[in-house]
Structure 1
Amino acid sequence: MPTALITGAGGGIGSAIAAALAPTHTLLLAGRPSARLDAVAENLGATTWPLDLADTDGLEAATEVLDELDVLVHNAGVLFPGPAGDSPIEEWRATFEVNVFGTVALTLALLPALRQAQGQVVFINSGAGQRVSAGMASYSASKFAIRAFADSLRNDEPGLRVTSVYPGRVDTDMQQDLVAYEGGQYDPSRFLRPETVAEVVAAAVRTPADGHLQEVVVRPR
């Protein structure tokens, strides 16, 4: 079977993507070691892949054993809510370390394996990567940056398929924290299910080889 590596695989969207790809792919579930990541791997018969996106120096060593990779799904990310004028520079650095620099470094480390497989890179972006969201200054900026990286990768690596997925707000732990920051009442029915985003990713991966699904926008109904 083809191989898929998913970052942030212990989280809501990441674990849903893993479940959606499990019937058709050998899974490498990447993330910081945790009981939650181990549980997802055990449930799906997958392999955990210890990885810290903030440690860009260690990414190449962690991935050098992969000679061929069919699918790389960038799902891991962090969010520090706050308006532009009240966002400490430390939060900007922490956001970009994971959401941008870690994502770019991991992609570059895996490019030889992706090229070998003529593979696909899927970026789980955000509506905040298309239109700036209030109170999410550093997060929105990071998502715009990764959108530009995905577009550049698509242009510069014609042997790869590169897909950016732009979900609206999704029912996840991150969303609960954001709603709490906003002072609202959390109602999961207002948001996309992680499984819905996962099915979008699976559909992009299943696109026949003569097609290239470049961007997908999905919002709650």
Structure 2
Amino acid sequence: MTAPRRPLALITGASQGIGAATARLLAPRYDLVLGGRDEKRLEALADELTEAGPVAVRTMAVELTDDDALATALDGIDRLDALVHSAGVGELGTVEETTAQTWRHQFDVNVVAVAETTRLLLPALRAAGTDTGADVVLVNSGAGLTARPGWGSYAASKFALRAFGEALRAEESSNGIRVTSVHPGRVDTAMQERVVAQEATAAGTADGGYDGSKFLRPESVGAAILAALTATRDAHFTEIMVRPQG
């Protein structure tokens, strides 16, 4: 008797943080493609997952803003059940301080690379969507809902990411593709540690040390992503907001 086909999920930003946590949560249910820039970390995570259980994992070390390299890396994926966009960058600064280079970089990574990755994988997503259903999850931010002083370029990129998700949802729902935007509060990640240091510098205060216990754990955001992916097909979590308790 042939074993049932395991669904396939591709996760960007999988070398650390929310992406890596999500991979660990999905491994019991999905075969995985782990995307990221740090090949050593991706390989270490792949080894960890395959040792823990019967999951097929391949790594995809690629710079998402390199269009040609991205197209080559994604070539050959003809069916994809879930696409989780976890890669992103964040650079703080007032409108006065933020250069065009910083604006372009954040939009290139947080929006353009997401759109291009999705575009290239639409045939694979539709192949699953019109059969058993497919999902695209966009790891957004609280900054994608509310802009604050000093967060202009980052928030603008996340507002744009939310708009991209709304357009994709409207265009692809008839193909069985659900689109979920996840808006976490502050998460205990390396990126958050850099943000806290930037905030201290901008405020002209001494860095009192980073206390990640005040923030969400990456696994908590991963659990929200898993909930969206495993919802019955008559349900669709269009947006999920996750905040630290207390």
Per the alignment, residue 116 of structure 1 pairs with 127
Q: Does 1:95 align with 2:119?
A: no
Alignment match of 1:52 (pick from 39, 63, 69): 63
Structure 2 length-normalised TM: 0.87
Per the alignment, residue 164 of structure 2 pairs with 149
Per the alignment, residue 143 of structure 2 pairs with 128
Structure 2 residue identity aligned to 1:96: F
Spell out, residue by residue over 1:114-152, the C-alpha distance to the aligned partner (whole angstroms, 9 max, x if none).
000001000000000000133222111110001000000
Per the alignment, residue 18 of structure 2 pairs with 13
Identity of aligned residues (%): 49
Q: What secondary structure is seen at the aligned counterpart in 2 of 1:157?
A: helix
Alignment match of 1:66 (pick from 77, 85, 107): 77
Structure 1 residue identity aligned to 2:92: P
Asked whether the 8 Å contact 2:15–2:38 carries over to 1, the reply is: no
Per the alignment, residue 170 of structure 1 pairs with 187
- Higher Rg: 2
1:213, distance to aligned residue in structure 2 (A): 1.1
Distance 1:189 1:50 in 2: 30
1:61, distance to aligned residue in structure 2 (A): 2.5
Per the alignment, residue 54 of structure 2 pairs with none
Distance 2:29 2:89 in 1: 29
Structure 1 length-normalised TM: 0.97
Structure 2 residue identity aligned to 1:151: E
Spell out, residue by residue over 1:16-61, the C-alpha distance to the aligned partner (whole angstroms, 9 max, x if none).
0000100000010011143222211111122111221111233223
Per the alignment, residue 85 of structure 1 pairs with 96
Q: What secondary structure is seen at the aligned counterpart in 2 of 1:48?
A: strand
Q: What secondary structure is seen at the aligned counterpart in 2 of 1:216?
A: strand
1:80, distance to aligned residue in structure 2 (A): 1.3
Distance 2:163 2:44 in 1: 34
Structure 1 residue identity aligned to 2:40: A
Structure 1 residue identity aligned to 2:37: R
Q: What secondary structure is seen at the aligned counterpart in 1 of 2:179?
A: strand
Per the alignment, residue 241 of structure 2 pairs with 217
- RMSD over aligned Cα atoms: 1.1
Per the alignment, residue 219 of structure 2 pairs with 195
Per the alignment, residue 44 of structure 2 pairs with 39
Structure 1 residue runs of 5 or longer lacking an equivalent are: none
Distance 1:188 1:172 in 2: 8
Per the alignment, residue 203 of structure 2 pairs with none
Distance 2:61 2:190 in 1: 21
Per the alignment, residue 53 of structure 2 pairs with none
Asked whether the 8 Å contact 1:169–1:175 carries over to 2, the reply is: yes
Asked whether the 8 Å contact 2:39–2:61 carries over to 1, the reply is: no
Spell out, residue by residue over 1:150-208, the C-alpha distance to the aligned partner (whole angstroms, 9 max, x if none).
00000011121000000000000010011111115321121000000000101111101
